[in-house]
A and B are shown apart, each in its own frame.
Chain A
């Protein structure tokens, strides 16, 4: 138990050439199952696009939003998808700085999931504002009337944080891809594909000078991405905590949201990788050990989230603030009690199973747990947003909320969009970093056969 994993447990035994061969094999001709999935995603995206068009044409009134509950499923989905986008940076940047070598086999896929999740999340504020064509008002840009966004508003911080996050994680991702694109390029026969890849690889040759600055920059990107990822979900939490709505205005929100985001992101990475490794026959590269390590992190963040749930209730009771207490009675017993209990059971109770080593080592069990956590984290955001708005202060402003069909369509569309992007990615680019796999392996020793 307490011994460090041997290199085998982490990486297995390969030669450099085998790494290339096995990872590049994932880029081969797709099977029927893949095409079916792609079609399903396209269908969902079409549904989402239709629903969004309907919303734009008819106005925001086609959602279930009302005077009491002004933020609903669209903002829930926004927070949900931004949260999913946190695991990638955790795995690629934070674990890189902590020198956790097990990240090597999985970080590329996790990073891709991050970018696509943030790209999905970014759509929701645009959908939610209804009048899509004035979305550019959100950005600070010089204009003749000297109209600027209000930088004291957490919503504007959010614009800055999420767009910075998308930019920085995309830079991190593409910089990480350069040597791998070069590897794909060098396995091609001369022709237009090779030419395009030569351009895309920026003419990378793997000279020592290139590697030196590359590695220096990589550490710096990781160092910048780490505080950034913490700040992004903190800022998202401040969209709520800066207000004085009971159930929102609490100092624990920022760390609690960050932990929840990492929890949901890890769950999504597990959900994606369990089938991925099977379909693409890279079980020997992405190993049970990697899932065990992710499961431990998942358990850790789940404990933090459970701690936050408990603390919120304690403080509500301790403070004696009647509005605060009222919301915290409403959550487990009111209109949306199902959302509340789903959240508690899925996020704080089911992950406790990971304490058992047998469950930690079973991919099937982890896959099921990860699905529950995905569900639970969606409901966590729903619970926070809807119950607080629906039950704040005087009974005269209370209300309830149900999602309309349009909102369902948009939500399903967002899942289709995310998986469509991800499925395209695993066909077009290596889903495991070739160069870093080689780097993590012991360098070929003298006299080794090639």
Chain B
């Protein structure tokens, strides 16, 4: 972990400058520690990591598990009492599909929630100590660039040139 590397936090009022700063930082090999934004921004996501989020695999798998377990629950509990009820067969697949369907959705949604929490790092216990500014939920986009030895000046210049409204040195705990 590079927890103690000093860095600079640049605050931008618009995504154009932010994108430009990210592109240049990437080109110059300056490590991008974090990007903050009040809104999702597809271009920035794509720039940082073009791979799609893996959440959907969890949704799919959990949905499948839900479907199978719903039908299994219905069939299993019916077989415990092997009796015709209401003129319907004991293992009545047609109505059990409804049970399977509901559990598909339930498991899929719970799986999606857990996957989201896992990959987005929520609940985020570092929040109280993290590098953060309240403006990031208002109208500021932030980028935290790491400064290796002697790079501080060039990083600061990069942020200034791309139009950062404010630059703040950071040194995380």
Contacts and interface: CB of A to CB of B under 8 A. Distances in A.
A36 interface: no
B2 interface: no
B124 interface: yes
30 contacts: A20-B138, A151-B77, A152-B95, A157-B98, A161-B102, A179-B38, A186-B135, A187-B134, A202-B122, A203-B124, A203-B127, A208-B45, A210-B121, A212-B45, A213-B120, A216-B53, A217-B113, A217-B115, A224-B109, A225-B109, A228-B102, A231-B98, A231-B101, A231-B105, A238-B98, A443-B15, A443-B39, A446-B17, A446-B163, A450-B165
Nearest to A228: B105
A444 B15 CA distance: 7
Contacts of A203: 122-128
A151 B139 CA distance: 52
A213 B55 contact: yes
Given A140-B77, A205-B132, A207-B35, A152 B92 contact: yes
Interface of A: 15-17, 20, 140, 146, 148-154, 156-157, 160-161, 164, 167-168, 171-172, 175, 178-179, 182-183, 185-187, 198-199, 202-217, 220-221, 224-225, 227-228, 231, 235, 238, 435, 438-439, 443-448, 450
B16 A175 contact: no
Nearest to A142: B77
A309 B34 CA distance: 58
A217 B60 CA distance: 12
Nearest to A217: B116
B62 to A, nearest CB: 10
Given A205-B127, A210-B121, A175 B113 contact: yes
Q: Report which residue of A16, A161, A171, A207 has the largest number of chain B beta carbons within 10 angstroms of its beta carbon.
A: A207
Question: A-B pairs with the 8 shortest C-beta distances?
Answer: A203-B127, A203-B124, A186-B134, A216-B53, A16-B139, A148-B77, A151-B74, A217-B116
Nearest to B51: A212
A183 B138 CA distance: 7
B1 interface: no
Given A186-B134, A208-B44, A221 B120 contact: no
A260 to B, nearest CB: 20
B138 A186 contact: yes
Given A15-B139, A439-B40, A171 B123 contact: no
Interface string B32-74: 0011111111001100110011011001000100000000011
B34 A183 contact: no
A16 B52 CA distance: 28
A450 B138 CA distance: 11
A231 B55 CA distance: 24
Contact of B13 (A213, A231, A448): A448
Nearest to A148: B77
Q: Which applies to chain B's interface (DSSP): helix, strand, loop or mixed?
A: helix
Contacts of B29: none
Nearest to A436: B39
Contacts of A198: 127-128
A238 B14 CA distance: 53
Contact of A220 (B13, B34, B59, B80): B59
Nearest to B22: A208
Interface string B130-173: 10101111110000000000000000000000010100000000
A206 B136 contact: yes
Contact of B137 (A182, A227, A446): A182
A149 B108 CA distance: 23
A207 B138 contact: no
Q: Report which residue of B17, B88, B109, B127 has the largest number of chain A beta carbons within 10 angstroms of its beta carbon.
A: B109
Interface in B89-118: 92, 95-96, 98-99, 101-103, 105-106, 108-110, 112-113, 115-117
Contacts of B124: 202-205
A249 to B, nearest CB: 14
Contact of A160 (B39, B99, B122): B99
A443 B14 contact: yes
Contacts of A150: 85-86
A31 to B, nearest CB: 27
A101 to B, nearest CB: 14
